[in-house]
Chains A and B, each alone.
Chain A
Amino acid sequence: MIDVRTFVLARHAFVANRDAVLACIVVALVGLISLRFPQFATPGNLAELLDDTAILIVLALGQMLLLLTRAIDLSVASNLALSGMIAALFNRSYPEAGVAAAIALACASGTVLGAFNGLLIWRLRLPPIVVTLGTLSIYRGLIYVISRGTWVNSSEMSPAFLGLVRERFLGLTCLSWLAIVCSVAFWALLRHTILGRRLFASGGNPTAAAYIGIDAGRMQFFAFTLSGALAGICGFLWVSRFAVAYTDVALGYELQVIAACLIGGVSIAGGVGTVFGVVAGCLFLGVIRSALPLVGISPFWQMAVNGLVISAAAIINARGDRSGRRQAILETVDAERRTQGN
């Protein structure tokens, strides 16, 4: 018999090690690029890089919560775009209501859209991948319906609506600060609260979790609601940052978000992942994105490079994680319970 504690410790060592390796790769990458292009590693440029990556970080943290509980949200980019459109339309019609109201509306819309996914998955025990594939289409279609296919341009947005995201505080933008605050909050949530431990437990072993009174479905619902709220806020930020709202905002961005999680070492089989890894994964993608044009590679290569990085990360993760449960994401919590005879 293998001592369980040794196994758990070895697993933790691997996970921690993996994050450190990834962080080193990111730093080395920045170092290499700045050898050739010294302006790349200047504080100003790095702050801009963080600003560019901030939305990805916030969304990836939300997605990590879902992956931890063996769920997945493919509708996150549609949620972002729909919430952003709602905020933009509201601002166009009632510019005097102020920017706080627009943010609250975007956040509320994101929460409702996320909770809708979560409710179907929790109460009806439907497979997350099917539900969110469906809502991906529905939410995206609803943008067309509420906007009637029109654009909301920067000239139609109030100065406060456009300005907030560009405010700077201690040299960093609001967006960067949001990413930092979210990272710290998520770290505290997962590391130091009972709720955080329950999230890990419900995805790591739903059957065992059920025996100690954790409802895995409810944890998924919580994760969907929280990540939905974040997607809603990001919707406002996205629209305000790029100063335009239209139907195709962030089209296909859900794959970037999931890719960042996978590169960051979050297991698709649930129960494994760290905030540090996810942030490093996001920064890795961000560095590559901003370095490609600098090195003189056509931006058309971006997608191919992303794909190769995801595949490579997946193979490395598969080497590290040889447990039997490989594809929990395609199963429902219910299926797991049935096969375990509970």
Chain B
Amino acid sequence: MQHTANARRWLRWETMLAVALVADIGFNAGVSPYFMDAWTWSDATFYFTERGLIALPLALLIIAGEIDISVAGIMALASVAMGTAALHGVDTPGLVAIGLVTGTLAGAINGLLVTVGRVPSIVATVGTMSAFRGAAYAVLGDRVLNHYPASFATFGQGYAFGAISVELIVFLVVAALTAVLLHATRWGPSIYAMGANAAATRWSGVPVDRYKFLLFCATGSMSGLAAVLLTSRLGSTRPSIAQGWELEIVSMVVLGGIAVTGGKGTIGGVVLAALLLGFVNFGLSLLNLPGLVMWIVIGTLLIAVVAIPALIERWRTSS
């Protein structure tokens, strides 16, 4: 009963996102005659693939009642690690492994701070966000690393078939895996439960701390993977890489209908929110509007998403 009511509610949320997405695509098509083209769409996907890749495990983490705002810092650290290794002649498979391992280790540090150190995750990751990006600055200063092997470019610049990029394939595969994990395995309900009431979940025999630790590791490793894609696409590493992305990624998750108070949301919503933000962003770039106008749009969307249901609720209880 509760479940079907929830399902209806999220279905409605996702429908709203889908309608907004279609409207934006229509708007973009109206703005530019070149928009309705497979290669244009392919370009547009780069506006969300890397951010969306991190938003997926972060959504699980937020549903479980925690948060990680060090994700962009992890990306910078992983990118610097890869760049330094490339300078010493490490080849492409080694670089990818280094990116993933750096990300996972950084995520493990966050997980340990929260589960063993008992630090609230928002405090812990504010600290590690500075520590990770700070380490990137400390290693690199104002230098640039760009001695990547030619084959490394495949991930960010390559196409799997036709106009479908490697990045898009990676995003879709991870999205499918995350959706299955949350919605079709027995781990899913546990993740929802610990976000709704961690103490009760622990008492019912779920190893809450182990789950949370693993979710932090997963978020870290996906940040590492996103760093592989972004570094490969840009072909260079600066310590300021992906600066400010944590806010965009958290916004993406919240826009996807994941409640920051934990226990609510679906992966479908996050994927739709990723597409929506990507296409809105792309549309604004078609209009030659600078990134800062995009900030206003994201911020307004974010507040509207939480304010509109609250307003409806208020109106309903008062009448």
Binding site for B on A (CB under 8 A): 120, 124-127, 129-131, 133-138, 140-145, 149, 247, 252, 255, 258-259, 262, 268-269, 298, 300-308, 310-311, 313-315, 317-318, 322, 324, 326-327, 329-332, 335
A-B contact count, CB below 8 Å?
173
CB distance from B281 to the nearest CB of A (A): 13
Query: 1/0 per residue B212-235: CB within 8 Å of A?
Result: 000000000000000000000000
Determine whether the beta carbon of B113 is less than 8 Å from that of A302. Answer: no
Instruction: Report the Cα distance A214→B123, complex, angstroms.
Output: 28
Question: How far, in Å, is A247 (CB) from chain B's closest CB?
Answer: 6
Q: Is the beta-carbon distance between B300 and A134 smaller than 8 angstroms?
A: yes
Residues of B within 8 A of A305 (CB): 134
Do the beta carbons of B292 and A304 come within 8 Å of each other? no
Question: A308 to chain B: which residues have CB within 8 Å?
Answer: 127, 131, 134
A306:B119 contact, CB within 8 angstroms: no
- Quick check: B119 and A330 within 8 Å, CB to CB? no
Closest chain B residue to A144, Cβ basis: B292
B303 at the interface (CB under 8 A from A): yes
Q: A134-B300, A307-B128 are in contact. Are A318 and B119 (CB under 8 A)?
A: yes
**Could you say which of B118, B140, B254 contacts A130, with CB atoms under 8 Å apart?**
B254
The reply to whether B293 and A145 form a contact with Cβ atoms under 8 Å apart is yes
Cβ of B135 under 8 Å from chain A = yes
Measured CB to CB, the residues of B under 8 A from A are 65-67, 113, 117-124, 126-135, 137-138, 140-142, 199, 239, 244, 247, 250-251, 254, 260-262, 290, 292-300, 302-303, 306-307, 310-311, 314
Q: Would you list 13 pairs from A and B whose C-beta atoms are within 8 A, ordered by A residue? A: A124-B314, A127-B306, A129-B122, A133-B250, A136-B299, A138-B295, A138-B296, A141-B294, A304-B130, A307-B133, A315-B119, A331-B261, A332-B261
Which of chain A's residues have a CB closer than 8 A to the CB of B260? 127, 129-130, 330
The SS class assigned to the B binding surface is helix
**Cβ contact within 8 Å between A314 and B119:** yes
The answer on a CB contact under 8 Å between B261 and A137 is no
Chain B residue nearest to A258 (CB atoms) is B126
A252: which B residues are within 8 A, CB to CB?
A: 244
B-chain residues with CB within 8 Å of residue A327 when the two chains form the complex: 65-66, 120-122
Asked if residues A298 and B120 are in contact (CB atoms below 8 Å), the reply is no
- Give chain B nearest CB distance to A338 CB in angstroms: 10
* Known contacts A307-B129, A318-B120, then 17 further A-B pairs from the complex at CB < 8 Å, ordered by chain A residue: A120-B303, A124-B310, A126-B310, A127-B260, A133-B247, A133-B302, A138-B300, A141-B294, A145-B292, A262-B123, A269-B120, A300-B142, A303-B137, A304-B138, A307-B131, A315-B113, A331-B261
Contact of A137 among B131, B199, B247 (CB under 8 A): B247
Note all chain A residues with C-beta closer than 8 A to B121: 327
With beta carbons under 8 angstroms apart, the residue of A134, A142, A300, A302 that contacts B303 is A134
Q: Is the CB of A303 within 8 A of B117?
A: no
Q: How far is the CB of A291 from chain B (nearest CB, A)?
A: 16
- A interface, over-half SS: helix
> A298: which B residues are within 8 A, CB to CB?
138, 141
- The answer on a CB contact under 8 Å between A136 and B247 is yes
The answer to whether B124 and A311 have CB atoms under 8 Å apart is: yes
B303 touches A144 (CB 8 A): no
Q: Which residues on the A side are within 8 Å of B138 (C-beta)?
A: 298, 300-301, 303-304
Assess whether A137 is in contact with B299, with CB atoms less than 8 Å apart. Answer: yes
> Which residues from chain A contact B303 at a C-beta distance below 8 Å?
120, 126, 130-131, 134-135, 138
Give A131 to B310 CA distance when docked, in angstroms.
13
* Choice from B134, B296, B300, B306 contacting A307 with Cβ under 8 Å: B134
**What residues of chain A lie closer than 8 Å to B262, measured between beta carbons?**
330
A140 to B298, CA, bound (A): 12
Partner of B299, one of A125, A135, A306: A135
The complex places the Cα of A259 from the Cα of B294 at a distance, in Å, of: 28
Which of A126, A306, A311 gathers the greatest number of chain B CB atoms within 10 Å? A311
Complex Cα distance, B306 from A335, in Å, reads 14
Is there an interface contact between B261 and A335, defined as CB atoms closer than 8 Å? Answer: yes
Residue pair A304, B113 in contact (C-beta under 8 Å): no
B133 surroundings in chain A (CB, below 8 A): 303, 307
Quick one: which of B140, B290, B293, B303 has the most chain A CB within 10 A? B303
Tell me how far the C-beta of A99 lies from the nearest C-beta in chain B, rounded to whole angstroms.
28
Measured CB to CB, the closest approach of chain B to A224, in angstroms, equals: 14
Whether B113 contacts A314 by the Cβ 8 Å rule is yes
Residues of A within 8 A of B65 (CB): 327, 330
Residue of A nearest to B67 (CB): A330
CA gap between A89 and B247 in the complex, in Å? 28
- Smallest beta-carbon distance A193→chain B, Å: 29
List the 3 shortest-distance A-B pairs measured between CB atoms, nearest first.
A307-B131, A304-B134, A307-B130
Expressed in whole angstroms, the Cα–Cα distance for A144 and B290 within the complex equals: 9
- Residues in A with CB closer than 8 Å to B113 are 311, 314-315
Docked Cα-Cα span, A243 to B142, in Å, equals 25
